[in-house]
Homo-oligomer: A and B are copies of this chain.
Amino acid sequence: MARAHIPSATDIRRAALTIEGHAVKTPLLESPHLNKRLGGRILFKAEPLQITGSFKFRGAFNRLSAIPENERDRGVVAYSSGNHAQGVAAAAKILGTHAIIAMPEDAPAIKIANTRAWGAEIVYYDREKDDRELLCRRLVEDRGATLVRPFDDALIIAGQGTVGLETAQQARAVGVTLDCTLVPCGGGGLAAGTALALASEMPDCRVYAVEPVGFDTTGAAIRAGKRLPLAPHPPSICDALMSPEAGELTFAVNADRLAGGIAVGDDAIKAAMRTAFQELKTVVEPGGAAALAAILEGALDVRGKSVGIILSGGNVDPGMFARVLNDI
């Protein structure tokens, strides 16, 4: 790995300066009804309101900004089920470089359409049959482009860490010190970045990764003390969180920094999406609702606590969202 060092709090602050004026400083939402229902003070970091509809733009913009000028012309390559794709595509557009994105054929239509709308070139792959890493390595070799990994990269982790940095700053601005923060987790970049930022900003805040049942690679790796291969499991509704394994660098951070992992099922995810619709008026995609699902299920006792919940993205097809609202 080219950049195997663990990002520092300074790297995250530097990332915040890099993305300033390009990324949205998303609001921290609060619902008196949810506070009452859960018995704690819950603050929601609303990354669906981020440019491209998810936190992924932060890491992508930070990573692409670090590519030397003379290499930018040859473009960037990424693989993604959709949110990293859009983040990279938007960052490439803004920074004036070309993006080639390998996307699974079954990615949500809204994610494919938006990636294309940002001007990226899309190459499709089969989630079951094709080796996406191999596909990307070939694209990198053929075109001399830079590979932008979805999570296992210090600059990506530092970029995602700005979510944690802003959450801490915005919580302090309303007089809150967070007791714990829950983060949706796929490959672990957002969890790692958030944990690193909060370790510096609010050292007593416990950070938990929340993953879909069957794809809880980070939780399982933390419990086992090492990364494990993913056992076969039917797909989760959380298209953004079906990561085949915890990252090497993200696991190194998360094993050290996280208080634990929580796994949530599809029904809990759907209930969380409905709650976000009703109480927060925010469109949250399945994977983006994982952390909210965990506290609604009571996976963690939040009574009397101040809790940060990261809503990580909102790119969901209207048809699926309608089905979730109708509870089918």
Contact = CB atoms under 8 A, between A and B. Distances in A.
Interface stretch (A4-12, A77-85, A141-149, A276-284): A276-284
A322 B326 contact: yes
Interface stretch (A46-54, A61-69, A192-200, A236-244): A46-54
A318 interface: yes
B326 A117 contact: no
Given A318-B326, A325-B318, A326-B319, A281 B33 contact: no
Contacts of A278: 110, 318
A277 B318 contact: yes
Interface in A293-328: 314, 318-319, 321-323, 325-326
A95 interface: no
Interface string A27-46: 10110110000000000000
Nearest to A25: B27
A274 interface: yes
B274 A318 contact: yes
A314 B27 contact: no
Contact of A117 (B26, B33, B274): B33
Contacts of A323: 322
Contacts of A27: 26-27, 49
A221 B321 CA distance: 40
Given A27-B27, A283-B282, A283-B283, A321 B53 contact: no
Contacts of A322: 321-323, 325-326
Nearest to A313: B281
A150 B325 CA distance: 31
Contacts of A314: 281
Contacts of A114: 33
Nearest to A327: B318
A326 B278 CA distance: 18
Contacts of A110: 278
B321 A277 contact: yes
A48 B326 contact: no
Given A117-B33, A319-B326, A48 B274 contact: no
A322 B326 CA distance: 7
B53 A32 contact: no
Interface string A88-129: 001000000000000000000010001001000000000000
Given A53-B281, A110-B278, A281-B283, 19 more contacts: A24-B30, A26-B27, A27-B27, A27-B49, A29-B49, A32-B51, A32-B90, A49-B280, A49-B281, A49-B282, A277-B283, A277-B321, A282-B282, A283-B283, A319-B325, A319-B326, A321-B325, A322-B323, A322-B326
6 contacts: A24-B30, A33-B114, A277-B318, A281-B282, A318-B325, A319-B325
Interface of A: 24, 26-27, 29-30, 32-33, 48-49, 51, 53, 90, 110, 114, 117, 274, 277-278, 280-284, 314, 318-319, 321-323, 325-326
